[in-house]
Amino acid sequence: MNKNLSLIFIFFLLFALSSCQKNSFPDGNWIDLTHDLSSETIYWPTAEGFKLTTVFKGPTEKGFFYFSNNYMASEHGGTHIDAPNHFAYERKTVDEIPLSQLTGEAVVIDVSEKALKDRDYEVSIDDFKSWETKHGRIKDGSIVLLNTGFAQFWPNRKKYMGTAERGADAVAKLHFPGLGPDAAKWLVENRNINAIGLDTPSIDYGQSQYFKSHQILFEQNIPAFENVANLDKLPPKGAYVIALPMKIKDGSGAPLRIVAIVPQKK
C-alpha cells in the first residue's frame, strides 16, 4: 500500500471510530416495556396461553447441574408485535420487518385520563394534534406509543380486558381502549412513523369487529406493539425505543422484548 493510500485508510478509520462514538447511546435510564411471559400472561380469549414445562432440573449423572424448559404459546399474547401480514395480504412478515423500523425516538401520547373514564375510548386525531401543539410535529421515523393507563391492571384479566372469560363468546365482552380508525388514517397519510404501540391487547379497541386500524396501518407496512408495559415511565418525547421480536419466519406476530432509554437531563 503506497503512502497516499495509507493516509486515506487512516483518515477513514479515524472517521469511522469518531462516528461510532457519536452514535453510542447516551447516559440515561433503561426502562423495560415488556411484561413477563408466565401462566398469568394475558392472551386473546381464543388464543392458546403461555405454557412452560420442565424438561430437566437438577444434578446429572455426571455430577453437574442442568436446567431446561419447553415452552408453547400463541404468536399474539403478552407483550408482542403484530406484523403487517396479520391483517394485510402479502405485507411484511415478522422476519421481514427491517431492524431500522423497530427502533426510533419514542413519542408518548398520554390519553390515560380519558381512557380510564371510558373503557371504550378511541385515540383521536385531536389527541395527536394536541400533543403536537405542546411538543412539536411528530418526527419522521418515530415510534408512537399510546399510554391509556391500562397497564396498571396487568395481569388482572377482567380489569385489563373487560372480561376474564375465555373462548369465542368472550370476544364480544371485551372492553379496552384503542386507536380510532380516523386517527390511524391521519397518521399514515400525514406522518411518517416507524411503528406504533400501546398498553392494551389490541391496537383496535375491544369492541371493534372489523379491526380497521389494523388494516389501515398494516396496509402501509407499519407494525404494532401490543400489551406494552411501563409507558407512564417515559417522557412525552426524547426516549429511544428498541423493540426486538422473536424472528419467526413467515410469522404474523411474535413475543417482543421492548426497551427504552431515557437520556439524563443535562
Q: Tell me the per-residue pLDDT of 240-258, one tens digit each, with 9 for 90 and over.
A: 999 999 999 999 999 999 9
Is the pLDDT at 14 greater than 90? The verdict is no
Distance CA 73, CA 66 (A): 24
Pick the CATH number of 26-47+75-263 from 3.20.20.70, 3.50.30.50, 2.60.40.10, 3.40.50.1370: 3.50.30.50
* Average pLDDT score, the chain: 92
* pTM (two decimals): 0.89
User: Which whole-number Å values give the CA distances from 178 to 55, 105, 124, 200, in the listed order?
Assistant: 39, 21, 10, 7
pLDDT value of position 265: 79
Residue with cell 431500522: 100
118-173 pLDDT tens trace = 999 999 999 999 999 999 999 999 999 999 999 999 999 999 999 999 999 999 99
pLDDT value of position 27: 83
Is the pLDDT at 18 greater than 90? The verdict is no
Q: By three-state DSSP, how is residue 94 classified?
A: helix
- Residue 183 burial (10 A CB sphere; 0-12, 13-18, 19+): buried
pLDDT value of position 49: 95
E strand segments, 63-216: 65-72, 80-82, 103-110, 122-123, 143-147, 178-179, 195-198
28-53 pLDDT tens trace = 899 999 999 999 999 999 999 999 99
